[in-house]
Structure 1
Amino acid sequence: MKFTRKYIGIRYAAPLTLLLLAGGAQAADSGQEYGPDPELPEPQRGLLPNMTVPEPAEWGDMKPTVPDSYTITAIATDLKVPRQTLVLPNGDILVAEGKGGGKAPKSRPKDFIAGLIQSQGTTSVKGGDRLTLLHDGDGDGTYEDQTVFAEDLNAPYGLALVDDDLYVANQDSLVRFDYEEGQTEASGPPEVITPLPSRINHHWTKALTASADGDYLYVGIGSNSNITERGMAAEVNRAEIWEIDPETGAHRAYATGVRNPTALTIQPDSDELWAVVNERDELGPNLVPDYLTSIQEGGFYGWPYSYWGQHVDPRVKPENPELVESAIAPDYSLGSHHAPLGVDFSNTAVGGEFTNGVFVGEHGSWNRADPVGYKVVFVPFENGEPSGDPVDFVSGFLTGEGKTRGRPVGVTVAPDGSVIIADDMTNAIWRVTRDDANAQPAESATEAPSASSNEEATSPEDEPEMPEDGYAGDA
Structure 2
Amino acid sequence: MKALALAASSALVFASTALAQQPQAPGNLERLGEFRHTDTPMEIPTVPQGGTKAAALKKNLAKVKVPKGFKVSLYAIVPDARHMAVGPQGVVTFVGTRKTKVYAVTDRDKDRVADEVKEFAPSIAFKIPNGVCFSRDGMLYIAEQNRVLLFPAAEFFYESADVAAFNVVKQGDLIPPEEESYNHTARTCRIGPDGRLYVTLGQPFNVFAPEKMDLYKKTGIGGIVSLTNEGKDRQVFAWGVRNSVGMDFNPKDKTLWFTDNQVDGMGDDIPPGELNRADKAGMNFGFPYFGGGKVRTTEYKDQTPPADVTHPQVEMAAHAADLGMMFYSGKQFPAKYQGGIFVAQHGSWNRTKPVGARIMFTSLKPDGTADKTEVFADGWLTEDGEYLGRPVDVAQLPDGSILVSDDFAGAVYRISYEGR
**Aligned counterpart, 1:192:** 167
1:247-304 C-alpha deviation (Å, 9 max, x unpaired): 2433121111101111010101111111011011222212111111112410111111
Q: Distance in 2 between matches of 1:406 and 1:283?
A: 26
Residue 219 in structure 1 maps to residue 199 in structure 2: yes
Distance (Å, rounded) in 2 between the aligned partners of 1:382 and 1:350: 21
Q: Counterparts of 1:309 and 1:336 in 2: how far apart (Å)? A: 10
Residue pair 1:85, 1:93 contacting (<8 A) in 2 also: no
* Correspondences of 1:56-205 after superposition (within 5 Å): 59=59, 62-77=62-77, 79-99=78-98, 127=99, 129-151=100-122, 152-162=125-135, 163-179=137-153, 181-185=155-159, 187-188=162-163, 190-194=165-169, 195-197=173-175, 199-205=180-186
**RMSD of equivalent CA atoms:** 2.6
Residues 393-439 of structure 1, C-alpha deviation per residue, up to 9 Å, x if partnerless?
A: 221101122211000001112332111010001100001111158xx
Q: Which runs of 5 or more residues in structure 1 are unaligned?
A: 6-56, 100-126, 438-475
User: How far apart are the structure 1 equivalents of 2:210 and 2:249?
Assistant: 33
Who is 1:119 aligned against?
none
Give the SS at the match of 1:262: coil
Equivalent residues in 2 for 1:390-401, closer than 5 Å: 390-401=373-384
2:386 pairs with 1:415: no
Distance change (3 Å), C-alpha of 1:403 and 1:434: same
Deviation at 1:59, TM superposition (A): 4.5
Q: Distance in 2 between matches of 1:235 and 1:96?
A: 32
CA contact (8 A) 1:98 1:155 kept: yes
Report 1:211-250 matches (<5 A): 211-214=192-195, 216-228=196-208, 232=212, 236=216, 237=219, 238-250=221-233
Q: Which residue of 2 aligns with 1:306?
A: 290
SS of equivalent residue, structure 1 residue 341: strand
Q: Distance in 2 between matches of 1:281 and 1:60?
A: 30
The 1:288–1:393 alpha-carbon spacing in structure 2 relative to 1, beyond 3 Å, is same
CA displacement, residues 36-57 of structure 1 (integer Å, 9 cap, x when unaligned): xxxxxxxxxxxxxxxxxxxxx9
Checking the alignment, whether the CA contact within 8 Å between 1:341 and 1:360 is kept in structure 2 is: yes
Deviation at 1:72, TM superposition (A): 1.3
Alignment-derived partner of residue 424 in structure 1:
407
What is the aligned partner in structure 1 of residue 300 from structure 2? 316
Equivalent AA in structure 1 for residue 201 of structure 2: I
Q: Partner residue of 1:347?
A: 329
1:336 aligns with 2:318: yes
> For the structure 1 residues 397 and 181, does the alpha-carbon distance in structure 2 shift closer, same or farther, using more than 3 Å as the test?
closer
Question: 1:190: how far off?
Answer: 2.5
Per-residue deviation, 1:231: 5.4
CA distance in structure 1 between the aligned counterparts of 2:251 and 2:187, rounded to whole angstroms: 22
Deviation of 1:354 after TM superposition, in Å, equals 2.0
Question: CA deviation digits over 1:51-93, x for unaligned, max 9?
Answer: xxxxxx995583522222111111111x221101111123234
1:191 aligned partner, one-letter code:
F
Is residue 310–residue 327 contact of structure 1 (8 Å, CA) maintained in 2? no
- Are the counterparts in 1 of residues 143 and 189 from structure 2 also a CA contact under 8 Å? yes
- In 1, Cα distance between equivalents of 2:350 and 2:265: 7
Alpha-carbon distance change, 248 to 354 in structure 1, aligned in 2, over 3 angstroms = closer
Structure 2: which 5+ residue stretches go unaligned? 1-49
- Counterpart of 1:259 in structure 2 is 242
Superposed counterparts of 1:9-48, under 5 Å? none
CA offsets 1:88-132 (integer angstroms, 9 cap, x no match): 123234233432xxxxxxxxxxxxxxxxxxxxxxxxxxx4x2222
Deviates more, 1:247-256 or 1:303-312: 303-312
Partner SS state of residue 331, structure 2:
helix
Q: Distance in 2 between matches of 1:84 and 1:270?
A: 24
Structure 2 residue 352 is the aligned partner of structure 1 residue 369:
yes
Q: How far does residue 223 in structure 1 lie from its aligned partner after superposition?
A: 1.3
CA distance in 1, matches of 2:418, 2:58: 26
Offset of residue 229 of structure 1: 5.3
Query: Which contiguous aligned blocks of 4+ residues in structure 1 show a shift greater than 4 angstroms?
Result: 2-5, 57-61, 307-311
What letter is aligned with 1:95?
F
Alpha-carbon distance in 2 for matches of 1:433, 1:346? 13
Shift of 1:309: 6.6
1:338–1:131 distance in 2 versus 1, CA, 3 Å: same
SS in 1 for 2:157: coil
Q: CA deviation at 1:315?
A: 1.6
Q: Distance in 1 between matches of 2:406 and 2:293?
A: 32
User: Percent identity at matched positions?
Assistant: 26
8 Å Cα contact 2:289-2:303 kept in structure 1: yes
